[in-house]
Amino acid sequence: MNQERGNWGSNIGFLMAAIGSAVGLGNIWGFPYKMGRSGGFTFLVVYLLLAIFVGFVIMMGELAMGRKTGKGTIGAYHTLSKNFKWVGWLAVFAPFVIMSFYSVLGGYCIEYLALNLSNLAFAGAEVMTGSDLFGAMLTNQFGCLMFTMLFMVICYLINRGGVSGGIEKFNKVGMPALFVCLLIIIARALTMEGAVEGLKFMFVPGYAVKAGFIEQAPGFLTVLATAGGQMFFSLSLAMGAMITYGSYLSKEENLVKNSGIIVVADTIVATMAGLAVIPAAVANGIQNGIPFAEIKLSGPSLLFVTLQDVFAAMGAVGPLFGVIFYLLVLIAAISSAISLIEVVSTYFMDRAAEKGKEGNRPRIVLLVCLAIMVEAAIVAWDGLGSNDMWVPFQNSLGVVGAFNDCWLDFMDFWSEGLAMPLGALLMSIMVGWEIKPKTLLDELHVGGSSKIDAFFSFSMKFVVPVIMALILVGQLNDFLALGLF
Ligand code: PFF
């Protein structure tokens, strides 16, 4: 059946690709900061519980849906369900929209990589501060557009190579390389004077407030919703990515074990990313007399302002660490982006196959990338709101800057804020109550995992829907600044 669709060359190749999808910008700029401000170690425990009872369960469910049906997201929902057929569309819409800004951020990474490379080549040249640099980059609209396009060209070249010839090949080299870069940066970061303050911010419960990084610790429901939203985005769930990747996996492989490995690897890399960025950012802040409350520890500013300042302050070796760091972020961004592109491309490939034709992969991938480029052009031109472009519904809820402050926020709301949690909620209801867990358990038993039945069924039926509903409300609360809790 899968003969013409293509397959992963090996289980390890599949794992590298799935981990590559999971490990992305979300790990580097989301996890460490959210952990720090939400109670350090306490957050980690909540995150791990959610990862086991919700993330791991959905991961198994998605991989099983893909492999059982041998189809991409839309085809899988169509084959399995009567009432939830349309959910597949949600899970193709979300990755398409996410790519509108993921590609722009990927473009920024290339620009910073190039910049550090040139600083390395022309040692002694004056280095701009992170914020001056970032500001200049965002308002150079044409430049942003070009770098976004370059990022998309790289992704296109990988995706057109196919599942094993492109995606797997890239990740088999990219993931180990990312890991090595991460270790180098961690070693440098942890030996900086004052780094221990960053470690305390990340791990010691209550330290973020006590030391003055933030004013007030969030309440438990907020922590739960934050950890849930983060876990979800980080594991690439409800975006069709794991359904799609699962559909290319051989029938012999053990999905339970594979799901466990992906969840554990993603969490380890997120924690490691924290060790690489937070201590360095905090140490540099201390050395320059910046109050803790003013150090930017999350989002684009962390990557493109705070850390660039860290590298600039390191003297002659700074650009070298800058090159290593932005290279690792770029690899993380590419490996996630190609999984998002593959979700959309696989749909068209499958559609061609249904009509009895052989899908022309290079052409399909090209069209998908071009369509993404159109929406990405708007986000790139907007420059995170720096260029005063009109944004739909801007401040429409009366909260200045809370919703749709810029085009990236607008796109992020519909995808990460709405489509992702809603899709996962509906998926769990479909599996738990319509088609019943048994349908997927057969698939999960392949390879010898049979002790999973009670856990999978119970979680899918009761735990996942409740937590997903909470995460959905949490995301809306957050994105729309509703102030519910
Ligand atoms: N997991 C990626 C990250 O942490 O940045 C983002 C992502 C990639 C989400 C692919 C969803 C997806 F399908």
Expressed in angstroms and rounded, the spacing between residue 288 Cα and the centre of ligand 1 is 34
| 4 pLDDT tier (thresholds 50, 70, 90) | low
Q: At what angle do helices 73-80 and 87-121 cross, to 10 degrees?
A: 160
For ligand 1, atom 11, the nearest C-alpha belongs to: 236
The CB density around residue 56, as the number of other CB atoms within 10 Å, is 22
Pick from 340, 346, 372, 411 the residue to mutate for probing ligand 1's pocket: most ligand atoms within 8 Å of its CB. Answer: 340
Nearest atom, ligand 1, residue 242 CA: 13
- In sequence order, which residues have a C-beta less than 8 Å from that of residue 85 and are 6 or more positions away? 77, 78
For ligand 1, atom 10, the nearest C-alpha belongs to: 236
Share of the chain above pLDDT 70, in %: 96
Nearest atom, ligand 1, residue 239 CA: 13
Tell me if residue 169 falls in helix, strand or coil. Answer: helix
pLDDT at 176: 97
Q: What sign does the CA torsion over 472, 474, 479, 485 have?
A: positive
pLDDT at 477: 86
Expressed in angstroms and rounded, the spacing between residue 238 Cα and the centre of ligand 1 is 10
Q: Name all residues whose Cβ lies below 6 A of ligand 1.
A: 21-22, 24-27, 95, 233-234, 236, 239, 241, 336, 339-340
Q: Does 481 or 77 have the greater pLDDT score?
A: 77
Nearest atom, ligand 1, residue 332 CA: 5
Which domains are assigned to the chain? 3-480 (1.10.4160)
pLDDT at 237: 96
Expressed in angstroms and rounded, the spacing between residue 450 Cα and the centre of ligand 1 is 29
Instruction: Report residue 393: phi and psi, to 5°.
Output: 55, 25
Return the structure tokens found at 411.
């796109």
Return the structure tokens found at 390.
């009109």
Mean pLDDT for the chain? 93
Expressed in angstroms and rounded, the spacing between residue 21 Cα and the centre of ligand 1 is 6
pLDDT at 1: 42
Q: What does the alpha-carbon distance between residue 35 and residue 235 come to, in Å, rounded to a whole number?
A: 16
Q: For residue 290, is pLDDT > 90?
A: yes
